[in-house]
Amino acid sequence: MNKKVYIILLNYNGWQDTIECLESVLKSNYTNYQIIVVDNDSPNNSMDYIIKWAEGKQEVVYNEASPLKHLSQPFEPKPLDYAYYTKEKALVGEDKNQGSNLKSPLIFIQAGENGGFAKGNNIGINYALAQNDFEYIWLLNNDTVIEKETLGNFVNSFTQKSQQIKLGLLGSVQYYYHSPNQIQAAAGGFNKWRGNFWNYQNLDFKQNEIAYVYGASLLISKEVIKNVGLLSEEYFMYYEEIDYAERLKSYGYTQEVDKSLKVFHKHGGTTETLENDFRTYYLEKNKIVFYKKFYSLLLIIPILKLIKVFLSTSIKQRKMKIVYLKALKDGLINE
């Protein structure tokens, strides 16, 4: 069955990656889809570059030595029809161009702020819900490329699995873009007693061992979104996937990773330019937020781990002290 899919790409300063990803997605042999690109108010004017690309005024910037360049080439003929919205106008259907958004393969939405991973994706999800003409949402990182069969295989896999289990969402395996035979991450694991999170970096795991599916590539149905809700916006970055996984369980849904499905991920393209203390701040703060929300009786575990990290840090690394105090304040007092 040819069920419609909205593919949501979240962009922040990564217009080159986003354009390469779009070129690969547009080669999909499954044709009933629209792509929603949400820009989190990139200071490098990413949306301008992406629009110019669609109009045929911006070349694709890519690594010519990449073993995966065939997934995005030959490049799509331009211009491409698109619809452009601000966040405020996205739900009322006011186009910047003259094309009909229902016919455009590309929907561009300027968020007007950097509200983080969940808030940016939720803008795209809300647009799709307002159209109410789809069956699935595919959250896909903008720094990925895909094979032309991937989207169709994703939909078929979800449909088949849903006939056997109450499937909430379905993930794929992430392979390194620069080393496409090597798995970057297949799924996420979690031990609540130790406060440990980890990646499964091979396919030797059982479906019931998955704690969460990575948001870099996951397929979710409209039914699940309407029942479980949108992504939680309280984290800004990190922990959104496991938060949703916990909520899925409360509604009786399960989650799986189709080990045959691949996406090729540049890994860290969105966050690699962020300072380490910024990333550490959100990782540590949000672990406390997550525990308070779902495992409040075990809250002492992430607190002790955070203190241990702080005490083991060199005095010269004063930034860690700031990270620690911010995490303690935001996680234990403000939330």
pLDDT at 320: 57
Q: Crossing angle of helices 276-294/240-250, nearest 10°?
A: 10
CA 65, 70, 71, 76 torsion-angle sign = positive
Architecture of domain 5-265: Alpha-Beta Complex (3.90)
Q: What is the DSSP letter of 212?
A: B
Q: What is the DSSP letter of 77?
A: P
Is the separation of the CB atoms in 43 and 13 below 8 Å?
Answer: yes
* Domain residue limits, the chain: 5-265, 276-334
Q: What is the DSSP letter of 33?
A: E
Q: What is the pLDDT along the chain (335 residues), one digit of tens a residue?
A: 689 999 999 999 999 999 999 999 999 999 999 999 999 999 999 999 999 999 999 999 988 999 999 999 999 999 999 999 999 888 775 544 434 445 679 999 999 999 999 999 999 999 999 999 999 999 999 999 999 999 999 999 999 999 999 999 999 999 999 999 999 999 999 999 998 899 999 999 999 999 999 999 999 999 999 999 999 999 888 899 999 999 999 999 999 999 999 999 997 544 444 445 566 767 778 899 999 999 999 999 888 877 776 676 655 555 555 555 565 555 554 44
Q: How far apart are CA 117 and CA 10, in angstroms?
A: 7
pLDDT single digits (tens) 115-166:
999 999 999 999 999 999 999 999 999 999 999 999 999 999 999 999 999 9
